[in-house]
Structure 1
Amino acid sequence: MTHTYTRKAHRAAATAACAALVLALTSTVGSAHARSHDLGRESLPPGDGWGSTGSGTTGGARADAAHVYTVTTWAELKAALRKGGDTPKIIKVKGTLDATASGCAAFAAEGYDFARYLADYDPAVWGHDKQVSGVQEDLRAASAARQKPAITAEVPSHTTLIGVGGNAGIVGGSLQIKGADNVIVRNLTLESPLDCFPQWDPTDDNRTGAWNSEYDSAVVHGSTHIWMDHNTFTDGAHPDSTLPSYFGKIYEQHDGELDIVKGADRVTVSWNAFKDHDKTLMIGNSDGATGDAGRLKVTLHHNLFAGIVERAPRVRFGQVDAYNNLYTVTGEQKYQYAFGIGHQSQLVAEKNAFTLPAGVSAANILKKWSDAPVTATGNYVNGHSVDLVAVHNAEMPGEALRSGAGWTPALRTRVDDPRALPGLVGRRAGAGGAG
């Protein structure tokens, strides 16, 4: 009996020792994985939207140690972007980078006087029949020309730009991904830049006039293999409601949040939050840009659009797959539409979720700008399945849309039930949600 007990005790002790060893090894491996896990070296997963096609999107994942930078100022960011040309690089943004810390006055050309500008081009004086011209308009243009290079940053090929920590972002700057290939932008809060010198166009808006501004938070211009992931786009401290009005029109200092234009192609936009903005997301910027035909292939999935007015997205030419996005509209906000159906577009909008207040019809979700086919199936509005094309055509027969975009998306790594999106996307989209 004593020997039997001893053998059992030895076996129990050995089992416990093995378990302890496995636990220790697992803990060590887990800790090593946690230490080695670097979001900056992550690539777009295979099959995750148009950005994954061809050579895929790896950004700066192959960067050597000499081309990994941490930046804490706007000037440091611009310098890091210039280093090494198209050599793979990872740039980690720590804290909030302010591109306009010196204020608008720092860009003003000598002699520019906004009060004089208003007096010279007041419609009561200038009218609505011709574009503005003269000394103050020339000085306004000169001031704008000084602002542009100060607040724009060119992002080269094979770059990963990623925020680290809980408050990484850019205020007042515009990321220009222009003529580049293989770029990743993740985990950043991008506060819309303010155009310090909007131009008054008296002939705009059916000759009632409008203030026109430049600068998007990010522009993908003629670039390929781009992944925009887990970023927050917002007007931040300067929503339109805080802007003044002149000549009866809002002094608009914002342009878009994200534009994908001029032959850009193979782009995936995932898990971003687009908040409190008017002209939000444009794919294709001109009906006359015939070179865009066959390009502008963009996937939008698991993005949050909250407090936006229009363009979520507005599409020309592009073969765009928009699925599993969440749109929330409140009774207080201005709202025009989500999906803009434009010239030669082939938009597929499937399994998205919309929350609309009383008085806002689901017919407004689609907006016809040109005659182009659209697929809009499996979408939910306020928790109920709705045929968006049928509702639109029933309420707006004069702007009837053609159903059936003519292609079937295949590049989707996960598709969620639209009814789960308020909890899923509402919680995880935006800066800080990756990893």
Structure 2
Amino acid sequence: MSTSGWHGHATRRAVALAGCTALVLTLTAATAQARPGHHHPRDTARQTLPANDGWASHGTGTTGGADAAPEHVYTVTTWAAFKAALAVEGTAPRIIKVKGTVDAVSEGCDAFAAPGYDFDAYLEQYAPERWGLDTDLSAEPDDSPEGLRRASAARQNQAIKANVPANTTIIGVGRDAGIKGASLQIKGVDNVIVRNLTFESPVDCFPQWDPTDGDKGNWNSEYDSAVVYGSTHVWLDHNTFTDGEHPDSAAPTHFGMLYQQHDGQLDIVRGADHVTASWNVFTEHDKTILIGNSDSESTAVGDRGHLKTTFHHNLFKGLVERAPRVRFGQVDVYNNHFVADEDYAYSFGVGKESQLVAEHNAFTLPDGVSPAKVLKKWSEAPVTAAHNRVNGRSVDLIAVHNAEIPAETLRSGAGWTPTLRTKVLPAWAVPFVVDHGAGAGRLR
């Protein structure tokens, strides 16, 4: 080797080592930010959200059950025990530690069926060739197949929903804790932390057929894995949201339409405010995250000025849409990794009066999927999308969208600048850091 060749090799090696060192330092810094540690740092169940960590740190911050007295710390291994711990009266701080997988539907769907309910009879009664596509089923009597479906659905609704009180921390113990088939209702309360849990999406055992939904009719289902409804100061951290054993790809079709048994993974609605979702994995799902559930003026009155939410260091993988879809809220999405497959529709839904800021994110798209699809315009609203990378290259997401989809031109500039952020990584570092740090079982 010539002297000049050796020097060139040495220089390239030095640059590579410097790059690796920088990445390790970046990862270390990011991981340090992920460890709250300011309140009882040796007990993760008593950790609180760090200062400036997204919208949930605004004002009073989010402490959950950090100050729980020993008698208000519960370890649960069954769905019944979990609901009992939530139902203890009072708003004194509480900690609920989930050990193993808590299954809300361990007895199966048949356990919820009302006497006389028969799915085959339902299909026969409401087949389009018999019922048509002009009349919905709302007027069907209680003893009809639809009436019996409604009664069955009400029984499931009562069984699988769990209401979370104020000043609560729910945390998984170890690497394999989870909640299966349930819908966590964080409704009308303040100060809740949910961490280190794998949520397997609830399966709606009794979806409703609506002949009037679209020009072919549609199956509609209920139940999100977690709903933040009118609540404030909520921190969701290091969780995994998945369809698990019941992916949409395995669902049958009836009346020529997918028998849809899933709703969303996370909904933030009805004036909810100051929410941070960090270091989570959202995977294997269609309609993933909805912020603001309606364009209607009656809903808008309660949503305007609220729905402030931060998403950072989350992995969105194998999703179809809504990551998230936004109405009204000032939503900050930074340092997330989006990994799409061939079913990909879009990531960011720009909805009514939304103020979405999407910066320093990384996207991994398959061949043939254009970056123009990352943004989807539902309503006229400005958006900020800067310093993002697609398949390792810097891309102006708004410019490419407007160039390829001129009928849905987006305006740049959301009108506000996020300040409640922890250390912001460059987009090139995001895939490595997020893929190795996000999800349940990786809490430090």
Please give the TM-score of this superposition, normalised by the length of structure 1.
Answer: 0.91
Question: Aligned partners of 1:178 and 1:408: how far apart in 2?
Answer: 29
Q: Is the 8 A contact 1:57 1:183 kept in 2?
A: yes
Query: Matches of residues 265-304 of structure 1 in structure 2 within 5 Å?
Result: 265-288=273-296, 289-290=299-300, 291-304=302-315
Question: Aligned partners of 1:116 and 1:387: how far apart in 2?
Answer: 53
**Local SS of the residue matching 1:260:** strand
Q: Of the candidates 404, 427, 430, which is equivalent to residue 421 of structure 1?
A: 430
Question: Aligned partners of 2:437 and 2:332: how far apart in 1?
Answer: 20
Q: Is the 8 A contact 1:129 1:207 kept in 2?
A: no
Question: Aligned partners of 1:86 and 1:277: how far apart in 2?
Answer: 34
Q: CA deviation at 1:111?
A: 1.1
Q: Of the candidates 211, 215, 223, which is equivalent to residue 223 of structure 2?
A: 215
How many residue pairs match? The answer is: 399
Question: Aligned partners of 2:217 and 2:334: how far apart in 1?
Answer: 37
Corresponding letter in the other structure for 1:352: N
Q: Which residue pairs with 2:418 in the alignment?
A: 409
Q: Which runs of 5+ in 1 are unaligned?
A: 1-32
Q: Is the 8 A contact 2:41 2:47 kept in 1?
A: no
**Local SS of the residue matching 1:142:** helix
Q: CA deviation at 1:353?
A: 0.3
1:105 aligns with 2:110: yes
Corresponding letter in the other structure for 1:153: A
Query: Matches of residues 30-429 of structure 1 in structure 2 within 5 Å?
Result: 37-132=42-137, 133-134=140-141, 135-204=144-213, 206-288=214-296, 289-290=299-300, 291-330=302-341, 333-429=342-438
Corresponding letter in the other structure for 1:44: L
Question: Aligned partners of 1:156 and 1:175: how far apart in 2?
Answer: 11
- Rg larger for: 1
Question: Aligned partners of 2:264 and 2:122: how far apart in 1?
Answer: 25
**Local SS of the residue matching 1:130:** coil
**Local SS of the residue matching 1:309:** strand
Q: CA deviation at 1:84?
A: 3.5
Q: Is the 8 A contact 2:161 2:182 kept in 1?
A: yes
Question: Aligned partners of 1:181 and 1:381: how far apart in 2?
Answer: 37
Corresponding letter in the other structure for 2:246: H
Question: Aligned partners of 2:256 and 2:210: how far apart in 1?
Answer: 13
User: After superposition, what is the alpha-carbon deviation per residue over 1:365-385, rounded to whole angstroms, capped at 9, x for unaligned?
Assistant: 000000000000000000000
Corresponding letter in the other structure for 1:104: C
Q: CA deviation at 1:36?
A: 7.1
Corresponding letter in the other structure for 2:388: N
Corresponding letter in the other structure for 2:305: G
Q: CA deviation at 1:83?
A: 1.2
Question: Aligned partners of 1:167 and 1:295: how far apart in 2?
Answer: 35
Q: Which runs of 5+ in 2 are unaligned?
A: 1-37
Question: Aligned partners of 2:90 and 2:80: how far apart in 1?
Answer: 17
Q: CA deviation at 1:85?
A: 2.4
Question: Aligned partners of 1:36 and 1:293: how far apart in 2?
Answer: 37
Q: CA deviation at 1:89?
A: 0.3
Q: CA deviation at 1:55?
A: 0.6
**Local SS of the residue matching 2:155:** helix
Question: Aligned partners of 1:246 and 1:36: how far apart in 2?
Answer: 52
Question: Aligned partners of 2:135 and 2:386: how far apart in 1?
Answer: 45
Please give the TM-score of this superposition, normalised by the length of structure 2.
Answer: 0.89
Q: Which residue pairs with 2:34 in the alignment?
A: none
> Could you say what the CA RMSD is over the residues aligned between the two structures, in angstroms?
1.1
